[in-house]
Structure 1
Amino acid sequence: MMKNNGKQLHILFFPFMAQGHTIPMLDIANLFASRGHRATIVTTPLNEPSIRRSVEKFNDRVSSEIATRVINFPTLEEAGLPEGCENMDFITSRNLCDELVPNFFRATTLLRPQLESLMEECKPDCLVADSFFPWSTAAAAEKFGIPRLIFNGMGFFAMSVLASLSASEKVCSDGEEFLVQGIPDRIFLTRRQLPEAEREEDEFLVGLFGEMKESESKSFGVIFNCFYELEPTYADYYRNQLGRRAWHIGPVSLGSSNRGSKNRGNDDQECLKWLDTKDPDSVIYICFGSMVNFGAAQLKEIAEGLESSGQHFIWVVRKNPGDPNEDWLPEGFEERTAGRGLIIRGWAPQVRILEHEAIGGFLTHCGWNSTLEAVSAGVPLVAWPVQAEQFLNEKLVTEVAKIGASVGVKEGAVYGGIVGREQIEKAVRRVMVGEEGEEMRRRVKELAAMAAQAVEEGGSSYSDFDDLIGEIQSESCCR
C-alpha cells in the first residue's frame, strides 16, 4: 500500500444496485483504501451481504478498512416493486424489464433523504455516486459543499459519441444509418443501436438521461474505468474538445488489491481444470453478462453455430431461476461436443477463465466490464451487442481498436429477431481461425501489456489517480 502524502480523505461511495455497476465501484473504493484513505460503501439491506463479503476479503489484505453503511430501500407501497426487488439483476433475470425498470429508477430517487442524513453524519470529503443518481450532485455540492464524482461504467469513446449525437444528422427511419458528427473517426450508427433514452421512446428514461447529462455538467468530474492507451484519441477529445473534467484510473480490477477474490468459488475448479487440457488460444469463451437473458430459440442457434464452427468452447448459459427446461439444446448436442465443449449453467469465474492461456476468443455482449476484462487478459472479442451503450463498445472494438469481429447484429434485442447459426459460426471462425484472428490477437495482447503497465506506479492510470486524489485534497482544504 502506498502511503498517503496529504490529508487522509473520507470518500463515500454510492453504487447503483446492479452487479455490473457495483463491482467496479467496489474496486475503486479498494484503490482509495489502498492509498491510505477511508472508504465507505452505501447500500441497501438485500445488497449488503454480497458487498460485505467482498469488503471483508479486501480488509483481510490491507491495513486500511472499507466500511459499509445501509440505507433502507423503499417499501412495496412506495415503489411499486415486488418483495425482494432491490437490484436490477432481480428484474432482468425474470424478464420483467418493461414492467419494473421505470419503477426501480423512481424508487432510487426516494433514497435521497437517507443519503443526505448519512452525509450529515459522516461528513465525507467527496461523494462518488453512480450516474443513475443525478440528484446526488445537488445533494452533495449544493447542500454539503463537497465534490460529487460520477461513475458511469462506460468508456471515453461511448461517452464522446453520446455527447455528439445532438450534432449528428437526423434520419427518417430507425434503421437508417447516420454519421456521428464531430468525433475523430467516421462512425455510422442507427437509432435502433442507441441506448433507449437516446431513441426518445420512453418518456421517463428520456427525462432521466436529461437529468444525468445536466448533473454531469455540474459535477466535480467523471471517473472512467479505462486506461488511456485503449482509447487515447477519445480521452483527449472528451477532455479537450468537449471540455469535460475526467480521470481514467482503470482497469480498476487490475489495480485493486481485491483482485482474484471476486472470482474464487467452490464450483470453479472443473472449468479451469478442463481448460488445462486445451492448447493455448484454442478455446472460445461465451458469456453475455448478468443482465442478458436469451430465449430458447436464440440459445439453440448459439449451440448450432458453436457446433458447426468446429471450435472448442466454454459456454456460460444464464436462464430464469428455477427453470429446468433444456429444450433449447439440440438433440445429442452435448454428446457430439463432448471433450470439445463445456456448458456452465449459472455463475462462472470470468476473469480467471479469460486469463487462462487456452482462451483464444470471447463471444460477448460488449458490456464495458466484460470488454475491459477481455482486453486486460489479451483476448480478442466476438461482438454481439444487445442493449444500452453496447453497440458503441462494439464500434470501439471492431472499428477503432480493431481487436474483434462483429456477429452482425443490426439492432437492440428489444426489437426481437434471432441471430442465426451461420452468422455466429462465421464470426467465431473469424476470430479463432486464420491470419485476421491472429492479427486481432496480437493487437489485444499489446493492449493487455499496456493495461498492466497503466496501473503500476508511474503508469497512465496510476498517475491520473494521483492527480484525482490531489484535486480532492485541494478542494477539501479550501472548505
Structure 2
Amino acid sequence: MFPWLAFGHILPFLQLAKIMAKKGHKISFVSTPRNIDRLPQLPPSLITFVKLPLPPVDGLPTTAEATTDLPPNQVQYLKKSLDLLQQPVTQLLGSLRPDWIFYDFAQYWTGPIAAQLGIKSSFFSICIPAFLGFLGPPSVLIDGGDYRKKPEDFTVAPNWVDFPTTVAYTYYDIKNTFDCVEDDASGVNDLIRIGLSARNCDVVTVRSCSEFDSDWLRLLDNIYEKPVLPVGQLPPPPPAAEADPTAWGSIKEWLDEQGSGSVVYVAFGSEAKPSQDQLTELALGIENSGLPFFWVLRTRRGESDPDEIELPPGFEERTRGRGIVCTSWAPQLRILGHDSVGGFLTHSGWSSVVEALSLRRALILLTFYSDQGINARVLEERELGYCIPRDESDGSFTRDSVAESLRVVMVSEEGKIYRDRAKEMSGLFGDRGRQSRYVDNLLAHLLNNE
C-alpha cells in the first residue's frame, strides 16, 4: 500500500489494508517516517510499516511530510520530493516482491516500475467514481486533448457521460481547482498524474459501492477500458473505548447537556482552511443561527503557513455556553456519534461524508477546492446534502446564508428530507458486512489475476 502524502488519502488506504490483513493477507504499508508515526497504533504484526524518508528539495520545509503540514502553494514541493523516491521504491519492490501494489494518483510512475519487476499494480482512488468520470479518459488527461479549456466548460457534464446527471462543478469551485491543470514545481500536473496512474495499472480500484455509484462505475469501465473494482465506502471502525479518555470526557460532558439532535458539528478536515473573510462570515452565521455548535477550527496549515486566521472579536464570549471552538485535535467519530449532534457542516471530503452518513447525520456543505465540488454535487443530486448558497462567480457567502442553511437542515420542515435521507443511507454507508463482501470480491479478483 503506497498512498499519497495526505491524511485524507493515508487513512482510507490504511482502512483497506487493515481489512485485507484481517482476512489473512500480508500487507506492507509504505509512507514517510513522520506520517507513519502519526498513524493510530495497530496490533503487532497486523501490518508491516515501511518508512521511506523524503529527499530534501528547495521550498519544502524539513518537517513537512504531509499536505496538512503545508499551505496549499507549497504542496507542489511535496510532489517534487515524492517523485525523487522512484529509485528507493524500485529497490523496495525488488526486495519485498509483493504480488500486488496499490498506489495513489501522485505516484503515477509506480505502475511501470511494478510491471518491470513482474508485480501487478492497482491505482487505488480514494476519490469517488463521479470525480474520476467527470475528469474523463486517460487520453484526455495525459495528452491535453480535453475539449474543455475554460472554467465555464466544467460547469456542465462532459460529453462522455451517457446518463442524465446534474453533477458538474460550480464556477467558483472549478476556478479554485483550476491550478491543478497547470504544471507545478514537479513538472507534472495532477490531471496527468491521474491519467497515467489509471493507464499504467492492471486494475483500477475505487472507494465506492455499486448500490450508490452504478452509473459512474459503468462509465469508468468504459473510459478506462480495464477492470474497475469498488472496494466499498471504507467506514472507519468504532473508536476504541480507551482512546483519549481525558479529551473525550470533557467534550462528552458538554454534549450530554445539549438536546438530542440539536448540535451542529463544524469541521473542514485536515487541509481545508477558510480565508479570513470566509471565517468571519462563517462565525457570524453560526452565531446568528442560534444553534448550539462544536467547531473544530484550523487557523493555519503547518508551521510555514503565514496566513493565520482569527475569529471575529468577541465571538467566543458571545457564544460561550452555547458553543465550543476547538483548535486542537478532536475525536470526530465520537462527536458525530453522540445523540446531541444532528448535523455536520463539512467541506464535503468523502471520508467525512462516509462518517456522517454511517452515523445518520445530516450534511450542510461548504466546499473549498479539488474533488469537494463534485462530491457536493453528487450529495445535492441525491438530496443527501444542502449546499450553503454562494455567489456563483467568486464563491463568497454571507453570514445570513450560513445561518439560514443551518436552520433549514437542522430544524425546518423544509430540511426534513436531508435528515431523513441521512438516516436512510446509514445502512449503506455503515454496513460492515457489506463492506467485508466488497473486499472479499476484490481479493478474489487479485488472487485470480496474479
TM-score range, shorter chain: 0.7 to 0.9
Q: Choose the corresponding residue for 2:8, options 15, 20, 25.
A: 20
1:38 aligned to 2:26? yes
Which amino acid letter does the alignment assign opposite residue 29 of structure 1? A
1:425 aligned to 2:418? no
| Aligned-pair CA distance for 1:200 | 6.8
| Aligned-pair CA distance for 1:234 | 2.2
- Aligned CA distance change for structure 1 residues 150 and 420 (closer, same or farther; 3 Å): same
| Aligned-pair CA distance for 1:177 | 4.0
Which amino acid letter does the alignment assign opposite residue 72 of structure 1? P
Q: How does 1:339-378 map to 2 (within 5 A)?
A: 339-378=321-360
CA distance in 2, matches of 1:392, 1:176: 11
User: TM-score when scaled to structure 2?
Assistant: 0.88
Cα offsets for 1:374-420 (capped at 9, x unmatched): 11111121111101111000101112x211111134579xx7x6432
State the partner residue of 1:58: 42
| Aligned-pair CA distance for 1:343 | 1.2
Q: Choose the corresponding residue for 1:233, options 211, 215, 218.
A: 215
2:359, 2:430 within 8 Å by CA — same for their partners in 1? no
Q: How does 1:311-330 map to 2 (within 5 A)?
A: 311-320=291-300, 328-330=310-312
Which amino acid letter does the alignment assign opposite residue 145 of structure 1? G
| Aligned-pair CA distance for 1:168 | 8.6
| Aligned-pair CA distance for 1:120 | 1.1
Cα offsets for 1:425-472 (capped at 9, x unmatched): 12111211222322111111111112233x30xx3x433321211122
State the partner residue of 2:65: 86
Q: Choose the corresponding residue for 1:308, options 262, 278, 288.
A: 288
CA distance in 1, matches of 2:194, 2:400: 40
1:219 is paired with a residue whose SS is coil
Aligned residues between the structures: 437
CA distance in 2, matches of 1:201, 1:427: 32
1:139 aligned to 2:113? yes
Q: Choose the corresponding residue for 1:49, options 37, 47, 52.
A: 37
CA distance in 2, matches of 1:235, 1:357: 35
1:186 aligned to 2:166? yes
1:355, 1:377 within 8 Å by CA — same for their partners in 2? yes
State the partner residue of 2:445: 471
1:200, 1:206 within 8 Å by CA — same for their partners in 2? no
1:440 is paired with a residue whose SS is helix
1:160, 1:183 within 8 Å by CA — same for their partners in 2? no
1:223, 1:246 within 8 Å by CA — same for their partners in 2? yes
Q: Any stretches of 5+ residues in structure 2 without a counterpart? A: none
| Aligned-pair CA distance for 1:215 | 2.5
State the partner residue of 2:268: 288
| Aligned-pair CA distance for 1:201 | 5.1
2:168, 2:374 within 8 Å by CA — same for their partners in 1? no
CA distance in 2, matches of 1:101, 1:196: 15
1:462 aligned to 2:430? no
- Aligned CA distance change for structure 1 residues 114 and 262 (closer, same or farther; 3 Å): farther
**Matched residues, percent identical?**
27
CA distance in 2, matches of 1:118, 1:72: 13
Cα offsets for 1:298-350 (capped at 9, x unmatched): 22221110111111111111113689x99943444333323321111121111
Q: Choose the corresponding residue for 1:71, options 49, 52, 56.
A: 52
1:305, 1:421 within 8 Å by CA — same for their partners in 2? yes
2:415 is paired with a residue whose SS is helix
State the partner residue of 2:243: 264
CA distance in 2, matches of 1:229, 1:384: 26
1:47 is paired with a residue whose SS is helix
Which amino acid letter does the alignment assign opposite residue 23 of structure 1? L
State the partner residue of 2:375: 393
State the partner residue of 2:75: 101
State the partner residue of 2:100: 126
| Aligned-pair CA distance for 1:80 | 4.1
Which amino acid letter does the alignment assign opposite residue 95 of structure 2? E
Task: Please report the RMSD computed on the Cα atoms of aligned residues, expressed in angstroms.
Answer: 3.0
Q: Choose the corresponding residue for 2:419, options 431, 441, 451.
A: 441
2:204 is paired with a residue whose SS is strand
